[in-house]
């Protein structure tokens, strides 16, 4: 299973408009440090699934027929705004799986155009080509699902944005599931008190420690996380990486699961 982090930014991205912090200055000077809306492409054999649609150039990146489906974590603008352009296209409809959210975002439900919205249900696996997506409830200000993604080859990858810690049922599912890889959001750097909003650095690392995936990536990164990491280059524990836009990883199933 191949995972490509297409975008790894928190809402506002890096560089943040008008910000002069070291991370935003670096992002302005070097495109390698730009963070666009948080999203990922999951590929296995001929199946290609886009998770979240916040990038504004989806119509250029994914010509007609190149995606098996889109899976949305939730309907905040930075995760769906690319759909507003895509929907007026021509050709085959595109399946868009989404959590049950009666509001959606703006008039997407009213005028779906090319988009064929389908509702996900928590813990009910949805088959897409050679992949299965099990929606995992997260803690956010809108109904939000992470995904436990399994390939027919036996690889398991959990993609979890946006959340403030993990609900008990989701944590239990993941602890029993033994992910080969896991991506989790981390918007602000370590806060003095646990934030009510999305994961800060401390909460994100605590959740990874509870789930114990083989490898972990932080994504949905705020500019102040980047600035904090520039000041604390030793801040990352072993086995945890910070994803960057365009980076790809090929995951294989862990050996012990085959034996057991
Ligand atoms: Zn900044
Ligand atoms: Zn977000």
pLDDT tens-digit series, residues 13-36: 999 999 999 999 999 999 999 999
Cα of 205 vs centre of ligand 1, distance in Å, is 22
Cα of 145 vs centre of ligand 2, distance in Å, is 12
Rounded CA-CA distance 113/191 in Å is 42
pLDDT tens-digit series, residues 37-93: 999 999 999 999 999 999 999 999 999 999 999 999 999 999 999 999 999 999 999
Exposed e or buried b for every residue in 28-38, given b needs 16+ CB within 10 A?
A: eeeeebbbbbb
Rounded CA-CA distance 206/204 in Å is 5
pLDDT for the residue 187 = 93
Cα of 11 vs centre of ligand 2, distance in Å, is 6
| Collapsed DSSP state (helix, strand, coil) of residue 198 | coil
Q: Contact 188/225 with Cβ under 8 angstroms?
A: yes
Which tokens sit at 109? 């439900």
Rounded CA-CA distance 245/220 in Å is 10
Which tokens sit at 165? 């810690």
Cα of 21 vs centre of ligand 1, distance in Å, is 4
Cα of 155 vs centre of ligand 2, distance in Å, is 26
Average pLDDT, the chain: 95
- For 46, 109, 133, 194, 259, the CA distances from 114, given in Å and listed in that order, are 22, 11, 22, 41, 45
**What would the DSSP string read from start to end of 47-91?**
EEEEE----TTHHHHS-TT--SEEE-S---HHHHTTHHHHTT--S
Q: 153: alpha, beta or left, given left = phi > 0 and alpha = psi -120 to 50?
A: alpha
Cα of 260 vs centre of ligand 2, distance in Å, is 37
Mean predicted confidence (pLDDT) in 110-128: 98
pLDDT for the residue 260 = 43
Mean predicted confidence (pLDDT) in 156-183: 97
Mean predicted confidence (pLDDT) in 182-204: 91
Mean predicted confidence (pLDDT) in 202-223: 96
Does position 235 have pLDDT exceeding 90, yes or no?
A: no
pLDDT for the residue 196 = 79
Which tokens sit at 192? 């003095």
For the chain, percent of residues with pLDDT exceeding 70: 98
Which residues have beta carbons under 5 A from ligand 1 (an ion)?
16, 19, 21, 24, 223
Cα of 257 vs centre of ligand 2, distance in Å, is 33
Q: Contact 68/41 with Cβ under 8 angstroms?
A: no
Nearest ligand to the C-alpha atom of residue 15: 1
Exposed e or buried b for every residue in 177-186, given b needs 16+ CB within 10 A?
A: bbbbbbbbbb
| Collapsed DSSP state (helix, strand, coil) of residue 249 | strand
Q: How confident is the model at residue 130 (pLDDT cuts 50, 70, 90)?
A: very high
Does the pTM surpass 0.75? The reply is yes
Which tokens sit at 187? 């918007």
User: CA geometry: angle at 145 spanning 228 and 186, to 5°?
Assistant: 5
pLDDT tens-digit series, residues 170-188: 999 999 999 999 999 999 9
Residues 6+ away with beta carbon under 8 Å from 211:
158, 166, 171, 174, 175, 179, 182
């Amino acid at each position: 299973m191949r995972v490509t982090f297409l975008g790894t930014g928190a809402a506002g991205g890096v560089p943040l408009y008008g910000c002069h912090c070291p991370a935003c200055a670096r992002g302005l000077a070097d495109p390698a440090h730009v963070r666009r809306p948080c999203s990922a492409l999951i590929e296995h054999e001929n199946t290609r699934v886009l998770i979240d649609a916040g990038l504004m150039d989806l119509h250029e990146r994914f010509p007609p027929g190149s995606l098996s489906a889109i899976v949305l974590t939730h309907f905040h603008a930075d995760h769906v705004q690319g759909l507003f352009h895509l929907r007026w296209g021509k050709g085959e409809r595109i399946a868009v799986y989404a959590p049950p959210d009666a509001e959606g975002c703006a008039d997407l439900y009213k005028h779906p155009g090319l988009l064929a919205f389908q509702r996900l249900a928590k813990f009910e696996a949805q088959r897409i080509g050679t992949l299965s997506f099990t929606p995992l409830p997260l803690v956010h200000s809108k109904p939000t699902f992470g995904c436990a993604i399994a390939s027919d080859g036996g690889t398991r990858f959990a993609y979890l944005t946006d959340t403030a810690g993990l609900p008990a049922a989701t944590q239990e599912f993941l602890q029993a599931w033994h992910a080969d890889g896991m991506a989790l959001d981390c918007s602000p750097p370590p806060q003095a008190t646990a934030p009510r909003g999305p994961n800060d650095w401390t909460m994100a690392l605590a959740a990874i420690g509870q789930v114990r995936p083989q490898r972990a990536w932080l994504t949905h990164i705020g500019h102040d996380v980047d600035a904090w990491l520039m000041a604390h280059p030793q801040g990352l524990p072993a086995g945890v990486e910070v994803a960057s836009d365009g980076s790809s990883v090929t995951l294989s199933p862990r050996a012990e699961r085959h034996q057991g």
